[in-house]
Amino acid sequence: MRVAPPEEHAPSARPGRVSEVADLILIDRVAEGDVAAFNALFRRYGPRLRRFLGRLTRRHHLIDEVLNDTMLAIWLKAGTFDMRSKVSTWVFGIALRRGLKAVERSTRLTALDLEETQTSSPGPEEHASRKELRARLDRALKALSPEHRAVVELSYFEGHSYREIASMVGCPADTVKTRMFHARRRLRALLADQREDAA
């Protein structure tokens, strides 16, 4: 399969989307132990992964740990990338698995922290600093299970298809659709409850 050189590759219409051709070149160089290529890949994906992991884990103290763990896995496993998916799908799949494991471990170790996270609500200053709709959505997303939250985040915020998410999670696309169905239904119920509470 011919891969178009970068100059033939039209810029993506979505801001923040990286060039797949450039990613393939970087992954190939990382597999050969090229530290500069690894640093370039980190610069490309670091901000997106940090944002995704923040939404997924809802535990800010875990973000750097999981991000570093993800990048280490990419460094060690770059040679196993087989081009059956996009580089971004592969990278986010690693981050998703590491993030879910970290959440599970953190939950086991600190049940008290989990309880505090679930019951906390934004203070008046934080409320005033962000739009009400975003605040309600954040609280609703936080109430979802990590698996359901991951599907929503990867689909709506990162733009991945159900097939790509299925590849990341390691389950059939139908399972992703089912999780999305339940996540949407739960979000609707949570947002409706919040509107009633605010009334």
Average pLDDT over residues 16-43: 86
pLDDT reported for residue 108: 61
Q: Find out whether 164 and 86 touch, Cβ atoms under 8 Å.
A: yes
Q: Which residue has the higher pLDDT, 6 or 48?
A: 48
* Of the candidate ranges 130-134, 152-156, 193-197, the one whose mean pLDDT is the lowest: 130-134
Q: Which residue type occupies 160?
A: H
Which CATH architecture fits 15-120? Answer: Orthogonal Bundle (1.10)
Closest CA to 175 of 184, 185, 165: 165
User: In the chain, what are the domain boundaries?
Assistant: 15-120, 123-199
pLDDT band at 145 (very low <50, low <70, confident <90, very high): confident
pLDDT reported for residue 112: 41
Pick the most confident of 109-113, 185-189, 191-195: 185-189
pLDDT reported for residue 90: 92
Q: How does the average pLDDT of the chain come out, rounded? A: 76
Closest CA to 157 of 74, 49, 63: 49
d(CA 139, CA 198): 14
Q: Which CATH number fits domain 123-199: 1.10.10.10, 1.10.357.10, 3.30.470.20, 1.10.760.10?
A: 1.10.10.10
d(CA 79, CA 71): 14
26 pLDDT above the threshold of 90: yes
The set of residues, in sequence order, having a beta carbon less than 8 Å from that of 7 and lying 6+ positions away, is none
pLDDT band at 188 (very low <50, low <70, confident <90, very high): confident
pLDDT in tens, 93-136: 999 988 888 877 766 655 444 344 444 555 555 444 445 666 77
pLDDT reported for residue 155: 81
Q: Find out whether 166 and 173 touch, Cβ atoms under 8 Å.
A: yes
pLDDT in tens, 30-48: 999 999 999 999 999 999 9
d(CA 47, CA 59): 16
Average pLDDT over residues 162-186: 85
Eight-state DSSP code of residue 15:
T
pLDDT reported for residue 43: 92
pLDDT reported for residue 13: 41
Average pLDDT over residues 148-167: 82
User: What is the SS3 assignment for 122?
Assistant: coil
